[in-house]
């Protein structure tokens, strides 16, 4: 059965719907670096074993007192600076590790950014959450509910990592990435093209945190402590991830009239290097066309794609005019893809740069409130004009 496939409508060569256009990007990882050697001390593993199976050399973990919303706020600040705008009409946060089970973190994140009063909500699709959130934001823009939307992917996966489980403890990490989308034309650089979204709930147990939800709470049994940790069937996840992302990628590329050979860069969920390489091989693309920063940041869940975008944009791995394919796979099972031509954006810090440098604020410490950015109605354009022009 087919998932959702969306393409902005047009007729007789005339654009009849607004498109969501990438205007800014930013990312941030907490300062604490955890190397493979650090993990090897408590696990039956080694740096060589971790690198060969995952491609990861280090990752970042939050310190006590810091949580998902803190990472989301800093990544969002950087994206807003990149976009040259202090305000948006809506905030969408993709996460599987909210600060609390209730309420969503998006309203708090918006408030801390000085965006009180805007629409704000969380979206849960695990590692596909950012792509689903892009599609949701594009819908807000297309239906004129918003002119600008801040989309954030943020996860603190160390909070659900079993330190004794070698298969997940060496992979999962913490981080946040964000983009600003603005209303624009379908034919301009940065405009998001078709979306392909799908799911298969028959595989819902392949990636899960079994305890903590309503089913477990109402089961009448005492949960095993291990049920509160992230678990994954690695073999089945690998197979599904490659097959689903490849099929979804082919769909969106075909719908916008490209050939796979036309794609300059693939920005995929950073699950592990073997999946990235297998995806490139399945799409018959050179492996170096697939953007990879997993060696430095690990698997950051919903944050992985926007972090990779921020990293690639800041380092010049993606440049204005590049044809970019974005694709993800995650728990649910869920998957999704979209495409865009990379626009000319304002320079942005790399995700590992010190906190606060992007917004010109003093570095924040865990538990403190960063100074809010002023909010201006979206009827007032940025003083310097859209960042993609």
Q: At what angle do helices 273-282 and 234-255 cross, to 10 degrees?
A: 40
Report DSSP letters for 252-284, one per residue.
Answer: HHHHTT--GGG--EEEE--S-HHHHHHHHHHTT
Q: Is the pLDDT of residue 383 over 50?
A: no
- The pTM score is 0.87
pLDDT at 161 over 60: yes
- Confidence check: pLDDT of 363 > 80: no
Q: Which of 36, 127, 272, 293 is catalytic?
A: 127
Residues 356 and 361: their CA atoms lie apart, in Å, by: 5
What is the Cα Rg of the chain in Å?
A: 20
Is 102 among the residues known to form the active site?
Answer: no
Q: Is 332 left (phi over 0), alpha (psi -120 to 50) or beta?
A: left
Residue with the bigger pLDDT between 349 and 273: it is 273
The H or E element that residue 10 is part of is: strand 10-11
Kindly give the pairing relationship between strand 10-11 and strand 14-15: antiparallel
Angle at 270 between CA 268 and CA 274, to 5 degrees: 95
**Whole-number pLDDT of residue 142:** 96
Would you list the DSSP string of 158-179?
GGG--TT-HHHHTTB-EEEEEE
Mean local confidence (pLDDT), 201-214: 94
Does the structure show a pLDDT above 50 at 185?
yes
* pLDDT value at residue 194: 95
C-alpha torsion sign, points 4, 7, 8, 11 = negative
pLDDT bucket at 366, cuts 50 / 70 / 90:
very low
Element (H, E) at 336: strand 334-341
pLDDT of residue 11: 39
Q: How far apart are the first and last CA of the chain?
A: 40
Q: Choosing from 240, 269, 272, 293, which is the catalytic residue?
A: 269
For residue 252, what pLDDT is reported? 98
Q: Which of 210, 207, 204, 205 is nearest to 225 (CA)?
A: 210
pLDDT digits (tens, 9 = 90+) for 30-51: 999 999 999 998 898 899 999 9
> Is it the case that residue 386 has pLDDT exceeding 50?
no
> Which residue among the candidates 36, 240, 293, 299 is catalytic per the annotation?
299
Neighbour-count burial for 123-145, b at 16+ CB within 10 Å, e otherwise: bbbbbbbbbbbbbbbbebbbeee
pLDDT of residue 42: 83
For the ranges 40-44, 99-103, 137-141, the lowest mean pLDDT is seen at: 40-44
299 included as an active-site residue: yes
Residue at token pair 């992979």: 171
Rounded Cα gap, residues 389 and 26, in angstroms: 18
Report residue 68's pLDDT band, with 50, 70 and 90 as the boundaries: very high
Locate tokens 């392949």: which residue?
Answer: 206
Q: Which residues contact 38 (CB under 8 A, 6 or more apart)?
A: none
**Res 8: pLDDT:** 57
Please determine, for residue 310, whether its predicted confidence score (pLDDT) is greater than 60. Answer: yes
Q: Would you state the pLDDT for residue 28?
A: 97
**What average pLDDT score do residues 357-379 get?**
32
Rounded-to-integer distance, Cα 371 and Cα 208, Å? 36
Determine if the peptide bond prior to 81 is cis (ω within 30°): no
Q: How far apart are CA 168 and CA 230, in angstroms?
A: 8
Q: How far apart are CA 378 and CA 233, in angstroms?
A: 45
- Tell me the pLDDT band of 263, cut-offs 50, 70 and 90: very high
* Per-residue pLDDT, 114: 97
Residue 350 has pLDDT above 80, yes or no: no
Indicate the average pLDDT of the chain. Answer: 88
Closest CA to 22 of 321, 340, 328: 340
Distance separating alpha carbons of residues 181 and 190, to the nearest angstrom: 9
Please name which of 197, 326, 338 lies closest in space to residue 266, comparing C-alpha atoms: 326
At 110, is the pLDDT very low, low, confident or very high (cuts 50, 70, 90)? very high
Q: What is the pLDDT of residues 7-29, one digit of tens each?
A: 554 433 444 579 999 999 999 99
The answer, yes or no, to whether residue 1 has pLDDT greater than 60, is no
Block residue for tokens 């740096």: 47
């Amino acid at each position: 059965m087919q998932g959702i496939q969306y393409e902005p409508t047009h007729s007789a060569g005339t654009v009849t719907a607004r498109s969501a256009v990438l205007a800014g990007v930013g990312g941030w990882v907490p300062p604490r670096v955890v190397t493979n050697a650090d993990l090897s001390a408590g696990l039956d593993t080694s740096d060589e074993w971790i690198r060969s199976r995952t491609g990861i050399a280090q990752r970042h973990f939050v310190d006590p007192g810091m949580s998902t919303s803190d990472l989301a706020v800093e990544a969002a600040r950087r994206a807003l600076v990149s976009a040259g705008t202090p305000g948006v009409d809506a905030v969408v946060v993709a996460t599987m590790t909210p600060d609390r089970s209730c309420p969503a973190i998006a309203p708090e994140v918006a408030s801390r950014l000085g965006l009180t009063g805007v629409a704000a909500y969380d979206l849960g699709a695990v590692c596909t959450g950012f792509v689903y959130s892009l599609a949701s934001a594009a819908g807000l823009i297309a239906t004129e509910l918003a002119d600008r939307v801040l989309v954030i992917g943020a996860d603190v996966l160390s909070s659900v990592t079993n330190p004794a489980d070698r298969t997940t403890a060496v992979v999962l990490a913490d981080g946040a990435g964000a983009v600003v989308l603005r209303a624009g034309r379908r034919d301009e650089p940065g405009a998001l093209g078709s979306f392909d979204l799908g799911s298969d709930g028959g595989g819902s147990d392949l990636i899960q945190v079994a305890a903590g939800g309503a089913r477990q709470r109402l089961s009448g049994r005492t949960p095993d402590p291990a049920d509160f940790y992230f678990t994954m069937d690695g073999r089945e996840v690998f197979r599904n991830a490659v097959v689903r992302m490849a099929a979804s990628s082919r769909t969106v590329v075909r719908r916008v009239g490209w050939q796979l050979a036309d794609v300059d860069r693939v920005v995929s969920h950073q699950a592990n290097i073997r999946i990235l390489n297998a995806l490139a091989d399945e799409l018959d693309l050179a492996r170096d066309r697939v953007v990879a920063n997993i060696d430095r940041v690990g698997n950051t869940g919903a944050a992985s794609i926007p972090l990779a975008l921020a990293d690639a944009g800041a380092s010049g791995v993606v440049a204005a005019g590049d044809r970019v394919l974005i694709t993800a796979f995650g728990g649910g099972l869920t998957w999704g893809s979209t495409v865009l031509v990379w626009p000319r954006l304002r320079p942005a810090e790399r995700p590992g740069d010190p906190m606060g440098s992007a917004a010109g604020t003093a570095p924040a410490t865990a538990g403190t409130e960063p100074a809010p950015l002023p909010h201006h109605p979206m009827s007032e354009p940025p003083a310097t004009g859209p960042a993609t022009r």
